[in-house]
Structure 1
Amino acid sequence: MKIQEIREIIKLVDNSSIDEFTYESEGTKVKLRKNGASATDAPVAQSAAPAAPAPVAAMPAATPKAEEMVSEEVPELPANNSENLHPILSPMVGTFYQSPSPEEPAYVQPGAKVKADQVVCIVEAMKLFNEIEAEVDGEIAEILVKDGQLVEYGQPLFLVKTN
């Protein structure tokens, strides 16, 4: 298992509601803890075979704690839904992107007309780019997250004003 894969798992666990995660594959074991885990409980990869030395996946000293990595709160939906606002929710934990690449324009802007099967953004999870569709016909009323922001499962990404 590569250190980058471990870092991706750390991000996903950190942005989820679970406090502990264990992963074993081919004699390698990764155990992650958050929310109250002590500094000595750093993520460690170890070999299951007692005769072999245990490789350690050390995180850089500058890596923030799990509590420090979550910088923005999940926005709540407006209490008044009189404008027929339909939320587009994130189907997974990942990173929100407004465009297919940094050089290209955003899929949608506030005021843009969308169809139910139209792609409105991408959520990246474990190096997979997942296209998120509008789900309803209407007009983008508001974009609730910033480009590059980590998003939670079920977090509202957009509000679509339906007819």
Structure 2
Amino acid sequence: MLKVQEIRELIKLVDQSNIDEFVYEHEGSKIKMKKKGNEAAVVQQIQPAVVQASAPAPQPVQSAAVEEPKAEAPAQVPAPQADAAEDLHKIVSPMVGTFYQSSSPDADAYVKAGSKVTKDSIVCIVEAMKLFNEIEAEVNGEIVEVLVKDGQLVEYGQPLFLVKPE
């Protein structure tokens, strides 16, 4: 994985060159740089870490290797509402940053409640250290609820969306 200084150097080179877009992929991580007018924008796509017994999980870009929180088994028989909530998939933030529903302030939100998504659908952007990270749905289904507001600071592992899987 590239170090922050190497990414900065790439940004400078892309900014000074005639190319409009640059993509770098390595071990499940993807860095995409696009020019907008005279500015260079960096989009860093995080592939979700999938835990497998036979192979180590890929590390997300710009985050430490931390286990995702596990839901504890309830001691009592759950209420009917809890059963419905357990059927929903949570899309969580892979890092600390600022949540954005769209690619720019004047653009429509990527998704809203009721939107159909595929596992590759981009649902939002989390900005961390001036890098705009596209977050994917990870599952096919329908967005049930958006749990955070546009421009809100989010923590690592914080639920962003609830999705009803298909």
Q: 1:156 aligns with which of 154, 159, 164?
A: 159
Query: Please, which runs of 5 or more residues in structure 1 have no aligned partner?
Result: 1-78
Query: Which has the larger Rg?
Result: 1
Cα offsets for 1:106-139 (capped at 9, x unmatched): 0001000000010000000000000000000000
Pair 1:96 & 2:99 matched:
yes
Q: Which runs of 4+ in 1 moved over 3 A?
A: none
Size of the aligned set, in residue pairs, is 85
Cα offsets for 1:24-55 (capped at 9, x unmatched): xxxxxxxxxxxxxxxxxxxxxxxxxxxxxxxx
Deviation at 1:80, TM superposition (A): 1.2
> 1:146 aligns to what?
149
| Alpha-carbon distance in structure 2 between the residues aligned to 1:81 and 1:98 | 28
| Paired amino acid for 2:92 | L
> 2:109 aligns to what?
106
> 2:121 aligns to what?
118
When the two chains are superposed, the root-mean-square deviation of aligned CA atoms in Å is 1.2
| Alpha-carbon distance in structure 2 between the residues aligned to 1:152 and 1:143 | 15
| Alpha-carbon distance in structure 2 between the residues aligned to 1:81 and 1:137 | 20
| Alpha-carbon distance in structure 1 between the residues aligned to 2:82 and 2:89 | 12
TM-score calculated relative to the size of structure 2: 0.50
Deviation at 1:81, TM superposition (A): 4.0
TM-score calculated relative to the size of structure 1: 0.51
Deviation at 1:82, TM superposition (A): 2.3
| Paired amino acid for 1:80 | A
Identity level (%): 72
Query: Please, which runs of 5 or more residues in structure 2 have no aligned partner?
Result: 1-80
